[in-house]
Chains A and B, each alone.
Chain A
Amino acid sequence: MYKKHETLIMPFTIVEIQIRNELFCKATHKRQSNARLFPSLRRTHPVAEADLLKVSMECVFGLVGNGFALVVADTSAVHSILVHKSNEDKIMVLDSHKLIGASGESGDRVQFTEYIQKNVHLYQFRNGIPLTTAAAANFTRGELATALRKSPYFVNLLLAGYDKEIGPSLYYIDYIATLHKIEKGAFGYGSYFSLAMMDRHYHPGMTVDEAIDLVDKCIMEIRSRLVVAPPNFVIKIVDKDGAREYAWRESVKDVSGA
């Protein structure tokens, strides 16, 4: 079902498929005996079947600083070996003080983030007050979790927001609906590099300038060490003054001119 996500490029993809096949052949844990009795069920169950090693080639990461949170995303629209677009904005402004950086299958990504955005707006229109960042994160998780056992959306999300009483916050939500509040986080192949850079250089209460320096370090590391590195990135920030685009980091101009 998810074969189309497996990349052609990284050599260890072959190992991934082997591991995945083992998942269906060999029950190593005694608690799995029920699944072993019903191998057919195991194959059709959406979660059991979900490719556990789905790592997208996209790079989305974010961090929380002093009075702000930021999200960075690559801007490449890739299908298989083709780059369709290099200025695709993958960070949506949810409402005045929320950002949602998304990676994953592009159709799911657009559909799901728009769905969340519209519902966050609907809540605000009905009740006259916006959802807090935590509330929006929990709503998003709920929607992903319900979809998970029906027809899952393959989207990984970083939700950044600013609340008056709470300050800036960042939430990690992956496609199987694991929710966690974090200070720094990343998705995709870029995460191997950006997480390492952030572990080394991040400290709580960073200024915007320090944070942007760190973001540039991450991007530089991705560009120099990742075979499938995307050329362009967008950086968005949310603070007390609202959510906005902060800067682009482009090494290739988009040819389509869209």
Chain B
Amino acid sequence: MSIFEYNGSAVVAMVGKNCFALASDRRLGVQLQTLATDFQKIYKIHDKLYVGLSGLATDAQTLYQRLVFRHKLYQLREERGIKPETFASLVSALLYEKRFGPYFCQPVIAGLGEDDKPFICTMDSIGAKELAKDFVVAGTASESLYGACESMYKPDMEPEELFETVSQALLASVDRDCLSGWGGHVFIVTPSQVIERTLKARMD
């Protein structure tokens, strides 16, 4: 049993037409025991930038606190929010700082950049970035998420269709993974609005 699979998680980001979706499951477990079904894995950095942290929950919480701290410093210095690309480099640097004793997290970064161009990216626990045009996945359900996203994704979806697609992909995937599930949490971010929805799933 890997330490990445200690708490269980599933995170997925998908790109649509001038928008993106970021979704996660809601389970917090310790191995096979479920502790809570309302655990947050997606965090807001600013209005157009979100990060999903899969992996070891304690490291996700520590990492999130450090990211918020660094983003606040950035905002004070630059007097604006951070660009998703820059933020990805920041996360990568923070992770690689701990190269020989990493945070056991696999982050998913999703944001709207300049001209509201969607940006999604994931990285491993030591900060190797993996950029994608369509979708990225992370967590214990990542294998099944790849399959579901691969078959359901199509380019240039509108927000509502994107929501349906990412939700169906998430729900289909977590049902094949013992360590994630118990509902979902979906963010759809467009240039003008953010839609946040919680999903009811198989609650077992």
A182 close to B35 (CB less than 8 A): yes
Mark each residue of chain A from 136 to 150: 1 if its CB lies under 8 Å from any CB of chain B, else 0.
Answer: 000001000100110
Stretch at the interface among B10-18, B25-33, B162-170: B25-33
A38 close to B100 (CB less than 8 A): yes
A237 interfacial contact with B, CB 8 Å: no
Q: How far is the CB of B84 from chain A (nearest CB, A)?
A: 22
Nearest-CB residue, chain A, relative to B62: A145
**Given A31-B124, A145-B58, A180 and B28 contact (CB-CB distance below 8 Å):** yes
Nearest-CB residue, chain B, relative to A182: B36
B2 close to A23 (CB less than 8 A): yes
A176 close to B100 (CB less than 8 A): no
B3 close to A52 (CB less than 8 A): yes
Stretch at the interface among A5-13, A41-49, A220-228: A41-49
CA of A28 to CA of B2 in the docked complex: distance in angstroms?
Answer: 8
The number of residues on chain A lying at the interface, defined by a beta carbon within 8 Å of a beta carbon of chain B, is 33
Q: Which residues of B contact A28 (CB under 8 A)?
A: 2
**Given A31-B106, A38-B100, A178 and B124 contact (CB-CB distance below 8 Å):** no
CA of A179 to CA of B101 in the docked complex: distance in angstroms?
Answer: 21
A174 close to B30 (CB less than 8 A): yes
B110 interfacial contact with A, CB 8 Å: no
**Given A34-B126, A145-B62, A172-B36, A178 and B28 contact (CB-CB distance below 8 Å):** yes
A52 close to B36 (CB less than 8 A): no
A31 close to B61 (CB less than 8 A): no
The number of residues on chain B lying at the interface, defined by a beta carbon within 8 Å of a beta carbon of chain A, is 28
Q: Which residues of A contact B6 (CB under 8 A)?
A: 52
CA of A192 to CA of B56 in the docked complex: distance in angstroms?
Answer: 22
Mark each residue of chain B from 28 to 45: 1 if its CB lies under 8 Å from any CB of chain A, else 0.
Answer: 101101011001000000
Choose from A19, A29, A38, A180 the contact partner of B4 (Cβ within 8 Å): A29
CA of A148 to CA of B104 in the docked complex: distance in angstroms?
Answer: 13
Q: Which residues of B contact A178 (CB under 8 A)?
A: 7, 28, 57-58, 61
**Given A177-B62, A180-B28, A172 and B35 contact (CB-CB distance below 8 Å):** yes
B104 close to A29 (CB less than 8 A): no
A195 interfacial contact with B, CB 8 Å: yes
B76 interfacial contact with A, CB 8 Å: no
**Given A19-B1, A176-B58, A31 and B125 contact (CB-CB distance below 8 Å):** yes
CA of A29 to CA of B56 in the docked complex: distance in angstroms?
Answer: 14
CA of A31 to CA of B106 in the docked complex: distance in angstroms?
Answer: 9
A191 close to B28 (CB less than 8 A): no
The interface of chain A, by Cβ under 8 A from chain B, is 19, 22-23, 27-29, 31-32, 34, 38, 41, 45-48, 52-53, 141, 145, 148-149, 172, 174, 176-180, 182, 185, 191-192, 195
Given contacts A31-B125, A47-B101, A179-B58, 5 further A-B contacts (CB under 8 A): A23-B1, A23-B2, A23-B3, A31-B4, A47-B56
A-B contact pairs, 29 of them (CB 8 A): A23-B1, A23-B2, A23-B3, A29-B4, A29-B5, A31-B4, A32-B2, A32-B4, A34-B102, A38-B100, A45-B100, A47-B56, A47-B59, A48-B3, A52-B6, A53-B31, A141-B61, A148-B58, A149-B101, A172-B35, A172-B36, A174-B30, A176-B56, A177-B58, A178-B28, A180-B57, A182-B35, A192-B33, A195-B33
